[in-house]
Structure 1
Amino acid sequence: MRIAVIGGTGKEGGGMALRWAHAGHEVFVGSRDSAKAEAAAAELGKAVGRDIRGGSNERAVAASEIAVLSVPYAAHAATLQELQPALAGRVLIDITVPLQPPKISTVNLPAGQAAALEAQAILGEATPVVAAMHHVSAVHLRDLSHEIDCDVLACSDDKVALEKAMSLIRDLGVRCFDVGALRNAIAIESLTPLLLHLNRQQKGRSVGIRITGA
């Protein structure tokens, strides 16, 4: 599958790009800074032994079937507004958490109640949004030798888009669960500050979630 990682120069985006390339997918790292994206893609490609392309967010989306949004919440709305025409007809996986630094271990509900709900409102029906990948350590994603001890929760109002996204997420080496409508992103996104708080208590060790009995 052809995947655009919007904001792929960051730790989380780069980790996903690395793992998807390792799984055999075509990956395009995007950034507002094309040169930065090209350099990051070259570094990731060298690490995984596969070709990973890099360039502007617009070029990344144009080359993709499915896009992943991996940007800070402060850049969330502006990035989506810029890319809204290009994203039409594609599935968007939004991993954004509406954190409010410096209080990143405290739940913050944005005006639209969840980043993913705000994304869907901006993009409209032409681009189904899937909320997922909020709780997986970037450090673990970038270590291909590490078995990720964490499950992923995903939700969307579009069943076909959700199944497509979940299949792709499983290629990262994690289990992925359908947890219902996109409105449930309010709960999924709100779990991240709790995990960040636990990470601090565990002296930096990455805390994840596991679904038992499934």
Structure 2
Amino acid sequence: KESKLLKGMENRNAVEACDIAVITVPYSAHRPTLESLKDVLAGKIVVDVVVPIVPPKVTKVQMPPEGSVAQEAQAILGDSCNVVDAFQNISHERLLSDGDVDCDVLVAGKGKAARQVVLGLVEDTGLKGWDAGVIENCVIVEGLTSVLIGLNIQHHVHASGIRITGIPDQD
């Protein structure tokens, strides 16, 4: 049964139909995926959820030469779109569970207006998002994922996350 909100499509058709594209592929598929969709991603906000996890060293931060995966994406796609990082530090197990996600989302990337749009999407999911600044800050957002995986292994858990504290609620 097809939902009115969700519809399965080939990547190219999905990107052509959207205003905001979300990239969620293994790091090994990141560059080829973006290169194959570059022409249809022009003019879009690209939410990049990819982290540079390179097995078997998943607890070691391994950034691409561009500095971060988001910067790599921006270099591939050029200035015709805004790449924004989000959701990297939330375990897929938390997202799939029925319980509270209980962590925050850091949003960093090109263009304050694009970050604000993505922060709105984060809030639409019921999560708390934080504007983590410019695309150069994505190295920290993405790098935290390897740190969290290491903590999960050390403490025999599956879904550690981050929470920003000390800032009064703005609501």
> The TM-score by the shorter chain falls in which range?
over 0.9
Q: For residues 179 and 106 of structure 1, what CA distance do their matches in structure 2 show?
A: 22
Deviations 1:47-75 (A, max 9, x none): xx765211210011111110110001111
Alignment match, 1:4: none
Q: For residues 66 and 105 of structure 1, what CA distance do their matches in structure 2 show?
A: 30
1:123-162 aligned at under 5 Å gives the runs 123-143=77-97, 145-162=98-115
Deviations 1:20-70 (A, max 9, x none): xxxxxxxxxxxxxxxxxxxxxx6xx6xxx7652112100111111101100
Alignment match, 1:178: 131
Q: For residues 50 and 205 of structure 1, what CA distance do their matches in structure 2 show?
A: 33
Amino acid at match of 2:35: Q
Q: For residues 146 and 61 of structure 1, what CA distance do their matches in structure 2 show?
A: 31
Instruction: Give the length in aligned residue pairs.
Output: 167
1:33-72 aligned at under 5 Å gives the runs 52-72=6-26
Residue of structure 1 aligned with 2:49, choices 75, 95, 99: 95
SS in 2 for 1:54: coil
TM-score by length of 1: 0.74
Amino acid at match of 2:162: I
SS in 1 for 2:79: coil
TM-score by length of 2: 0.92
Greater relative CO (CA pairs within 8 A, separation 6+): 2
Q: For residues 120 and 5 of structure 2, what CA distance do their matches in structure 1 show?
A: 22
Identity %, equivalent residues: 40
Deviations 1:126-151 (A, max 9, x none): 110101111112122123x3211110
Amino acid at match of 2:85: A
Q: For residues 28 and 67 of structure 2, what CA distance do their matches in structure 1 show?
A: 15
Alignment match, 1:192: 145
SS in 2 for 1:62: helix
SS in 2 for 1:207: coil
SS in 1 for 2:130: strand
Q: For residues 95 and 89 of structure 2, what CA distance do their matches in structure 1 show?
A: 11
Alignment match, 1:115: 69
Over the residues paired in the alignment, what is the CA RMSD in angstroms? 1.5
